[in-house]
Amino acid sequence: MSRALLALDLGTTTLAGRLIDEAGRTLAEARAENPQQILGADVIRRLEAALRGEGERLQGLLRDGVEELLAQLLSAAKVPRAAIAAAAAAG
């Protein structure tokens, strides 16, 4: 099984991801709306939501969004999840 590398951009409005092979060739790219938007359109509103006790909900929403994005990437690249050798995220 060839190995894939995962890059994620956890933006305020959009989650973006790319799977590449070890030679740097793009295997798949995808975007999804950041589901945290339901608790605030910007980082300040989300921090306020966390202070109101919504921290776990924010975390769950982001996790679900990343899972959705990853499913899209894996499907498009036709590679199994186990092929991901390393991941990096920024946001």
Mean pLDDT on 4-14? 97
Chain segment 16-46, per-residue pLDDT in tens: 999 999 999 999 999 999 999 999 999 999 9
Return phi, psi of residue 13, to 5°.
-105, -30
**For residues 87 and 39, what is the distance between their CA atoms, to the nearest angstrom?**
27
pLDDT in tens, 41-80: 999 999 999 999 999 999 999 999 999 999 999 999 999 9
* DSSP β-bridge partners for residue 21: 4
**CA-to-CA distance for 25 and 42, rounded, in angstroms?**
33
pLDDT on residue 1: 66
Residue 72: both structure tokens together: 């899209």
Whether the full predicted model's pTM is greater than 0.85, yes or no, is yes
Residue 89 has pLDDT above 90, yes or no: yes
pLDDT for 2 equals: 86
